[in-house]
Amino acid sequence: MLKDNDDALTGDDVREGITMIISCKHPDPQFEGQTKTKLGNAEVRKIADDVFSEGLERFLMENPQEARIIIEKTISASRARLAAKKAREATRKKDLDISNFYGKLTDCSSKDPSECEIFIVEGDSAGGSAKEGRNSMTQAILPLRGKILNVEKARLDRALGNDEIKSIITAFGTGIGDEFNLDKLRYDKIIIMTDADVDGSHIRVLLLTLFYRFFRPIVETGHVFAAQPPLFKITHGKTRKYVLTNAERDDYIASLREKNVKFDISRMKGLGEMDAEELNETTMDIEKRVLKQITVEDARLADQIFSDLMGDEVELRRKFIEENAKFVENLDI
């Protein structure tokens, strides 16, 4: 129940997670607006209010256990709202200290957002190479330590208490929620740079879920990209060819064999094992790199997959595994 330090409940606290369906037949319905999503007949509101009020009161009196669950959920929503408000205020008040921003962000020199980009990098090792291999004028580096919090199952207050997420929010400069302002985005390109393996894919999905939930406008306006690190390096003579897929590797090798050209092929290491020169040449140089622009549909699918795999519906997980297990060739354990 409410404690002395709890604030009064709001309508949003009470309504959170509750759905009500009203069936109403009216001889002369009047709708508001062109979309006709709201009934405008004033007399219906009083009737609906009375019926709902009486019915809800009776239900709560007759079902004390369910009533307690609803009340506890409402109080929990209120506390989460207040905690999230405090976390947002704390995040907003913290100035961006480039010299000591959680010991993580290495910012670029330019202050023109239209030419700046930030790489969100998997791990400190890759972050170190990226800092050495970047263009310091326009490229900023934000390494993440491990996997960020799964916002699919975390309330806003807990998400805003996570250091990695706070770093991202502060680096972007846009704020979140009601305070979000796209005009304050500090980088034209936000580039997710992770390894081409299972862990890297997991981190990418976690980030896309975060962006879809907290920063959807930056996805909608085309600011989010995924770096495409190569899988193989093919060397012949003084030429180094980096390829992204098995098919591209096979095609290139076939062309070399037709010309009787000797070559060496090697599987690329993870980002953290590349030196600064390799990372720049394969993934960061704007003249040579390959970027995939993330669309709203990409982020929505990532969010949906996470909901299916990490949510409470066991049947959805089972169905996903059954439908996709056939596509797994080599599983990293």
Q: From the candidates 57, 197, 220, 251, give the one annotated as an active-site residue.
A: 197
What sign has the CA pseudo-torsion 167, 152, 193, 135? negative
The first and second tokens of residue 149, run together, are 């919090």
**301 touches 208 (CB < 8 A):** no
Distance between CA atoms of 270 and 282, rounded to whole angstroms? 12
Closest CA to 84 of 158, 170, 2: 158
Active-site residue 275, yes or no?
Answer: no
Taken as a whole, the chain contains a residue count of: 333
Catalytic residue among 107, 117, 122, 152: 122
Q: Of the listed 199, 248, 298, 308, which one is catalytic?
A: 199
Catalytic residue among 164, 195, 281, 303: 195
Q: Is 298 a catalytic residue?
A: no
Identify the H or E element spanning 307: helix 296-310
Strands of 67-210, DSSP E:
117-122, 139-144, 189-193
Q: Assess whether 264 carries a catalytic annotation.
A: no
Which spans in 41-93 are helix H?
42-62, 64-93
Q: In the structure encoding, which two tokens stand for residue 13, read together?
A: 């606290």
Report residue 66 as tokens: 């369910």
Report d(CA 289, CA 170) in Å as an integer: 27
- Strand pairing class (38-39; 31-32): antiparallel
Active site residue 122: yes
Specify whether the CB–CB gap between 202 and 122 falls below 8 A: no
CA distance 204 to 209: 9
Q: How far is CA 273 from the centre of its chain?
A: 26
Enumerate the active-site residues.
Answer: 122, 195, 197, 199
